Each structure stands twice: as structure tokens, then as C-alpha cells.
Amino acid sequence: METVERIKQQIAEHPILLYMKGSPKLPSCGFSSQASQALMNCGEPFAFVDILQNPDIRAELPIYADWPTFPQLWVEGELVGGCDIIIEMFQKGELQSLIKDVAERHPAPEASE
């Protein structure tokens, strides 16, 4: 699958998606750490893609998104922004509302045992 097609599929499949360096539990840069912390503090599950493990996505996503830096937060197919925007929204309480609303519209599938 072409890289841009993979990116489009990831964005379509995950209502809350963070492209970051590392993972939420082991971020590999300060900006990714701050962004994932803010999202985790919203209390809803979210998907992430470690761009360090996906160099093709790391190369193509800034072109596709017209956004040069990481992390990138995508919500319901729309680019919200990077670390500064995520933190600013969190401090104003806007991120929590957005993430809660989206999570309610897209309930996580029930875990089967």
C-alpha cells in the first residue's frame, strides 16, 4: 500500500490519532511527551503512530498534512495541530471537551474475553 494511502486509512480508522515520536508511555521527544500527556489527561483512549518506527510516514505526512512538524493530532479526519496547539487547547479546557465529544460519538469496541 502506498504511504499516503496508509496515512489516509489510519486517519479514517481512528477518530483520535496522534502521530508522534515514540509512544505515549515512552515518548522520544519533549513535544510528543507533552502532547500525549495532554491527551491521556483527557481520559479517553486514542490511537498513535510512532513515526520513528515508520520513516515512510515521517517523510510523507508533513507533505500530506501541509504541517511540517510532529506530533500531529488528528480528530475525526481533521488535523487539529501540533504540540503548542494541543497544550493551548488543553489549558483552555477545549481539548477535553473535543476528545470527550468524539469518544462519545465513536465508542470503543467492547473487549471480548
pLDDT digits (tens, 9 = 90+) for 84-110: 999 999 999 999 999 999 999 998 765
Per-residue pLDDT at 107: 82
Q: Which residues have a Cβ under 8 Å from the Cβ of 66 and sit 6 or more positions away?
A: none
Is 21 annotated in a binding site? The answer is yes
What is this structure's pTM?
0.93
Is 83 annotated in a binding site? The answer is yes
pLDDT band, residue 1 (cuts 50/70/90): confident
CA 18 to chain centre: 1
Per-residue pLDDT at 110: 53
Is 29 annotated in a binding site? The answer is yes
Per-residue pLDDT at 109: 65
Instruction: Write the CATH number of the domain with boundaries 3-105.
Output: 3.40.30.10
pLDDT at 18 over 70: yes
